[in-house]
Structure 1
């Protein structure tokens, strides 16, 4: 059964001087301010579409990697995943780098890197973002 998740943004003003607020309607976790300066300069307590994509990608990749490792008989005890989304004003999102450090009993470094590459390729968010370059660094703790 398909699920739908909803977020809304209320925006006021023009791009450079305006601001908005993203509301996570499905989860009810809150409202978060957004603005162009937070996207192209310094966050100053505000989020950006790129940070939201980074959150989506890091969590999806974590789930995909955890599932793949468990399915192979080597479930992780811990995965620490970071997604860095690069935004170039005037060009757009130019790349995403995933970094993962894992604790996986019974698995060697080569096996972990292979599992991480597979998760990167098959994570639904990675697939949705296939129009950009996604790189990966993976290592065991």
Structure 2
């Protein structure tokens, strides 16, 4: 079993407090986050952004693997995952939308199938309890 971790520290109340988030690798090291960054559009990191980055990274790797199993090697896979947070009944993640551009030679139908399979099959997609959708462009 492989285990990785992230850490967070929060000080103060929900709206006036601040926190930091770090990763085991040190890529993030005490990056500041807070209520305004998460809920009011202030520039800075927030949990949904981090989930989106993890989802996009996981999806791209899963797609590369599925394409490889079909004998296709992509020259480039660019993925963006937009996480939707609904505030109507308390904060809840309700969606993840992947915008994907794939540069690869090979059968277009096989590439599209691989993209769809990766959408639901990557480990982060499997973790998310929300609707996952995608728009895929093949070049």
Which range, TM-score by smaller chain? over 0.9
Deviations 1:44-89 (A, max 9, x none): 2x21110010011000000000011011101101001000001123
How far the C-alpha of 1:122 sits from its partner, in A, is 1.1
5+ residue gaps, structure 2, are none
User: How many residue pairs are counted as aligned between the two chains?
Assistant: 136
Q: Does the 8 A contact of 1:112 with 1:138 survive in 2? A: no
| 1:31 and 2:34 correspond | no
How far the C-alpha of 1:111 sits from its partner, in A, is 2.4
Pick the aligned partner of 1:62 from 60, 63, 67: 60
Q: Does the 8 A contact of 1:112 with 1:139 survive in 2? A: no
TM-score, with normalisation over the residues of structure 1? 0.91
Q: Does the 8 A contact of 2:70 with 2:110 survive in 1? A: no
Deviations 1:77-135 (A, max 9, x none): 10010000011232411211011110111231x32221111011210000011x21111
Partner Cα separation in structure 2 for residue 126 and residue 3 of structure 1: 18
5+ residue gaps, structure 1, are none
